[in-house]
Amino acid sequence: MSGNVVIAGAGISGLSAAYDLAKAGEPYALIEKQSRPGGVIQTTVRDGCVIEGGPDSFISQKPEALALIKELGLEQEVIGSNDATRVTYILRRGKLVRMPEGFRMIVPTRVWPTLRSPLLGLGTKAKMGFEWFRKPATYPDRSVAEFVIDHFGRETLDYLAEPLLAGVYGGDPSQMSVNSVLGPFVEMEKKHGSLAKAVMKSRPAAAGGGSLFRTLKGGLGVLTAKLEEKVDVRRGTVEAIERTAAGFRVRIDGSWMDAASLILACPAWAAAAIAASLDARLGELLAMIPYTSSATVAMCYDSAKFDGIRAGHGFLVPHVERKRLAACTFVNSKFDHRGPPNRILVRCFFGGAGDDAVLEELDDALVAMAQAELRTILGLKVEPLFASVARCPRSMAQYTVGHSARWSEIQERLTAIPGLFLAGNGYTGIGIPDCIRMGRAAAAAALKDAAIASSS
Ligand SMILES: Cc1cc2nc3c(=O)[nH]c(=O)nc-3n(C[C@H](O)[C@H](O)[C@H](O)COP(=O)(O)OP(=O)(O)OC[C@H]3O[C@@H](n4cnc5c(N)ncnc54)[C@H](O)[C@@H]3O)c2cc1C
């Protein structure tokens, strides 16, 4: 077989790529090594509760997820987070402290809530005030930790930036690249010096537009299931590739298949193993993108018997609090349509940078760990009606210092291998909209190559 496109990996990146190829009538083979497509998107329904094992939503500011959802006819299914009732807590010295209002990520935009908050000490509040007078400056890529400490001090790093970023990247701020992770803030630093001043100026534009987070009534699995209806997924592992005169030979479970193009929509570490035989340096660069692992424990309670603190949309646990639990979401406060009204569904996150070992724990041990943490933090003693554990091994890419330079070099090397494309969360964005964007861009590039080949 020749003239077709092989896609390695049927997570949201690979499914999005295959969907566009199928729509265009281009022959493709979408290869997935697990029995279940969808990658880290894993939705289950139990006793009427919608349980997300991996991601639970996507941000609405990036248009790609909503655009695909609309195209698939799922627009009526979209729901937003309950932002009007959003209260998030942060654990400080074992107690839940309400996150002050008016913060844009790490940047305070309202004076009184910041001044009154017990989350931050006087020294930090003074530093936040002085930040207003910073002059525009440009630095080489540095770590998120250095950047945050420079602007707002160590406490802001420990009690805001670290827990907030851990929720998105499962990463370590002393390793993460500020250019790749907090790019818009770096631009503000260049232009205005003070982030607080810059954010205040941009506030009206950021205010409108509905809920920040969106999902589907039946969970994100509805999106991947719909894509699965539109494409064919073959079970198998892409193991190796070789160049041929017409394109590539791809080894899948020991058998070779010809392909004009190849989209590696698997994690960068898996892409590294496949691409290294074509270009050792490319393999090396891909392997330099680290990934962290995580596990989630969802527990369902009878709301009449729930005897712990009901902590708004949930709480974050800063690393400095030295708990294994990283965060906890009150799922049916954050979103509607997540279960019957007489149920409380909570979801506990474990893992992230420095705690990959959590995946080695048995399910019962993880549930016991979650229960013990909630007993201490929320005073919750009642047993859950049921618990459900999900694991995402080596799934969260870490954009470490120098990432954008490495990505530029990866792109350069790819130009020397026409027909080879990358998609996934390891490169230009970790979220679902980013992955859809990359998957679809890879499909568009493969289609362009196919059109050129057929016209010549
Ligand atoms: C716990 C967790 C929570 C998250 N929360 C959010 C959130 O709320 N919002 C958000 O926007 N993003 C979130 N993210 C990030 C986002 O979900 C992911 O970045 C995105 O879904 C990754 O999609 P993907 O297709 O690139 O990769 P994956 O989903 O990892 O899929 C890659 C697929 O490739 C397959 N594969 C690997 N190697 C091979 C091979 N050699 N041959 C064939 N197949 C192979 C794998 O089995 C897998 O199915 C979260 C991620 C995690 C892990």
CA distance linking residue 377 with residue 63, whole number of Å: 37
364 class by beta-carbon count within 10 Å (0-12 exposed, 13-18 middle, 19+ buried):
exposed
Return the pLDDT at 153: 96
Q: Please give the number of the atom of ligand 1 that sits closest to the Cα of 34.
A: 47
Return the pLDDT at 203: 58
CA distance linking residue 326 with residue 316, whole number of Å: 6
Residue 300 one-letter amino acid: C
Q: How many CA atoms lie within 13 A of 95 on its CB side?
A: 5
| Nearest to 447, CA basis, from 25, 8, 15 | 25
* Contacts with 440 (C-beta within 8 Å, 6 or more apart), sequence order: 16, 17, 20, 64, 68
Token couple for 423: 């998609």
Q: What angle do CA 372, 344, 78 make, to 5 degrees?
A: 125
Which residues form ligand 1's pocket by a CB distance below 6 Å? Answer: 8-14, 31-34, 39-41, 54-58, 237-238, 265-267, 270, 294, 392, 395-396, 424-425, 430-432, 435
Q: How many CA atoms lie within 13 A of 215 on its CB side?
A: 24
Q: Which domains are present in the chain?
A: 5-39+221-289+401-455 (3.50.50.60), 100-207 (1.10.3110.10), 291-397 (3.90.660.20)
41 Cα: distance to centroid of ligand 1 (angstroms):
7
Return the pLDDT at 456: 73
Q: Which residue positions in the chain have pLDDT lower than 70? A: 1-3, 203-209
Return the pLDDT at 313: 95
What is the pTM (predicted TM-score) of this model?
0.96
CA distance linking residue 62 with residue 68, whole number of Å: 12
DSSP strand pairing (255-259 vs 247-252)? antiparallel
40 Cα: distance to centroid of ligand 1 (angstroms):
4
Element holding 89 (H helix, E strand): strand 88-92
